[in-house]
Amino acid sequence: MSMKKSKIIRLTLTYTVIALMSFIIIYPLLWVIGSSFNPGQSLSGSKMFPENPTIVHYQYLFDTDKSNYVHWYMNSLKISISTMVLTVITVSLTAYSFSRYRFVGRKNGLITFLILQMIPNFAALIAIFVLATRTELIDTHLGLILVYVGGQIPMNTWLMKGYLDTIPKELDESAKMDGAGHLRVFWQIVLPLAKPIISVVALFSFIAPLGDFILARVLLRTNEKFTMTVGLYEMVAKQFGNEFTKFAAGSVLIAIPIAILFLMFQKYFVSGLTAGGTKG
Write down all domains in the chain, each with its CATH number in brackets. 2-56 (no CATH), 63-274 (1.10.3720.10)
DSSP codes, 175-186? HHHTT--HHHII
Q: Is pLDDT at 78 greater than 90 in this prediction? A: yes
What percent of the chain lies above the pLDDT cut of 70? 91
Q: Which pLDDT value is given to residue 54?
A: 85
The pLDDT, as a whole number, for residue 49 is: 75
Please give the pLDDT value at position 279.
45
For the chain, percent of residues with pLDDT exceeding 90 = 27
CB 185 within 8 A of CB 167: no
Q: Taking the CA atoms of the chain, what radius of gyration do you get in angstroms?
A: 23
pLDDT band of 42, cuts 50, 70, 90: low
Angle formed by the axes of helices 106-116 and 141-164, to 10°? Answer: 120
Exposed/middle/buried for residue 185 (C-beta within 10 Å: 0-12, 13-18, 19+): buried
pLDDT of residue 241: 55
Q: Which of 85-89, 117-121, 206-210, 222-226 has the lowest mean pLDDT?
A: 117-121
Q: Please give the torsion angle defined by the CA atoms of residues 190, 267, 28 and 80, in that order, rounded to the nearest 10 degrees.
A: 40
Residue 149 CA, chain-centre distance (Å), reads 11
For residue 226, name the pLDDT band (cuts at 50, 70, 90): very high
- Report the distance separating Cα 99 and Cα 280, nearest Å: 8
Average pLDDT, the chain: 84
pTM across the whole model: 0.84
CA dist 248 and 250 (Å) reads 5
Residue 264 has pLDDT above 90, yes or no: no
